Amino acid sequence: MTGISNRHRNISDIVALSLLPISGFATDIYIPSLPSMSTSLEGTMAQVQLSVIIFMVCAGVSQLFVGSLLDSFGRYKLSNVAIFAFSLASFGIAWFPNLYILYLMRGIQGISVAFIVVAKRAYFMDTYTGDRLKHFTSLFTVVWSTAPIIAPFFGGYLQKVFGWQSNFYFLGIFALILLILTLRYGRETGKTFPSFKLKPVAQVYASMLGTKDFIIALMILGLSYAMVLLFGIASPFIIEHAWHLSSVATGYCSLMSGIALMAGNILGKSTITRPLERKIPVALGLQLLSVIVMIVISAYVSSPYTMMPFVILQHILIAFVFNNLYSYSLSRFSRNTGIATGLAGGCFYIISSIFSYGSASLLHIKDQRALAFGYLLLSLSVIGMYRLFRNTEKVGINRFSRREPVTNY
């Protein structure tokens, strides 16, 4: 392991894994506070939801480019600066409660998270190979799914007891603690640092973007996660406005959603060695059937007890599909790990942001039935993209999966 002693290896792995869910924590913890923030900041539902999308878009766009910087200048120092910037932005939101400050700080958080997450994913790809690497890439989504379990549940109680600013104080303190641990136990893990040259870097990006199965898989990842994000931005208003329940109730519903994501990721990890064509179609079929039943039931009754069983099943199946295709995407490239992980993360962030916010705005999701139709729209899109993915295999694209179409620059 480059630059890290055996004594610190396990601690360094744990700290790096702990930083991976920070992108989820940064949003999920204040999801139950969206209605209160709307009142406090004198903004509309759409305006406070936009703060989630600004973060996602900034994180996604940044991930497209930070990989090349991390490959050229190293992971360690840049990620540490990003952790510190994330912490300051979190405190800034709490100290200056203003809608436009919120937007600015969320943008800074998104850019910071891009550096953090891409650097930590690249850390594992620098450090491990073979089955051990495959174990960690599959573990990424399992660890990542801890955020939607813990964050909104914890955030709901923080909102009720201390107000919405307490969520951002927590994020700032959490980031500072992990920064201290990283400075103590972390080291640079990059093995080579090719000089940053625009033309070769552009050629690497062009080569990856020209790999059809990789790009279609990222589309599926983005559309799948859009369903999770759609629930996240719409559920507080359904639960707290339509049903007149508290932020704690939103936290409990998000907790169940997060547990479902964790279960789906664990299920995906346990079946990671099985061929995609034997498991993905089954999951997508069950997903579509569940959505149709949810739409029918929503026409007659609407409550947390009728919504959450379908949300739980949906999120288990979404996470299962996501886990398998995410591992597939990252395993396509190992020579340019920073760029590959950044491109993968950035693309699905951007896609999920566009389609989740677009679905919420198009369908005006304020009740259970509208949420079900949002799921239907996105489920059909995923099925369509998966058919394209399978067609690329049939014409021979997948036979290149054992060799990389890019070279070191």
pTM of the predicted structure, to 2 decimals: 0.75
**Whole-angstrom distance, CA of residue 22 vs CA of residue 79:** 13
- Could you report the per-residue pLDDT of 351-377, keeping only the tens digit for each? 888 888 888 878 888 889 999 999 999
Q: How confident is the model at residue 90 (pLDDT cuts 50, 70, 90)?
A: very high
- Could you report the per-residue pLDDT of 278-298, keeping only the tens digit for each? 899 999 999 999 999 999 999
Tell me the C-alpha to C-alpha distance, in Å, between residue 302 and each of 32, 196, 235, 296, 362. 20, 55, 13, 11, 21
Considering 170-174, 179-183, 388-392, the range whose residues carry the highest mean pLDDT is 170-174
**Whole-angstrom distance, CA of residue 392 vs CA of residue 345:** 22
Write the secondary structure of 23-88 as one string of H (helix), E (strand) and C (coil): HHHHHHCCHHHHHHHHHHCCCCHHHHHHHHHHHHHHHHHHHHHHHHHHHHHCCHHHHHHHHHHHHH
What the block records as the tokens of 28 is: 């999920």
pLDDT of residue 108: 96
Least confident of 5-14, 59-68, 347-356, 385-394: 5-14
Tell me the C-alpha to C-alpha distance, in Å, between residue 293 and each of 2, 111, 302, 319, 360. 52, 39, 13, 20, 20
pLDDT of residue 272: 74
Q: Calculate mean pLDDT across residues 383-407.
A: 64
**Whole-angstrom distance, CA of residue 333 vs CA of residue 408:** 11
Q: Is the pLDDT of residue 392 over 80?
A: no
Picking from 187, 153, 154, the residue whose alpha carbon sits closest to that of residue 76 is 187
Q: Is the pLDDT of residue 40 over 60?
A: yes
pLDDT of residue 334: 60
Q: Is the pLDDT of residue 404 over 60?
A: no
pLDDT averaged over every residue in the chain: 83
User: Can you name the CATH fold of 6-400?
Assistant: Growth Hormone; Chain: A; (1.20.1250)
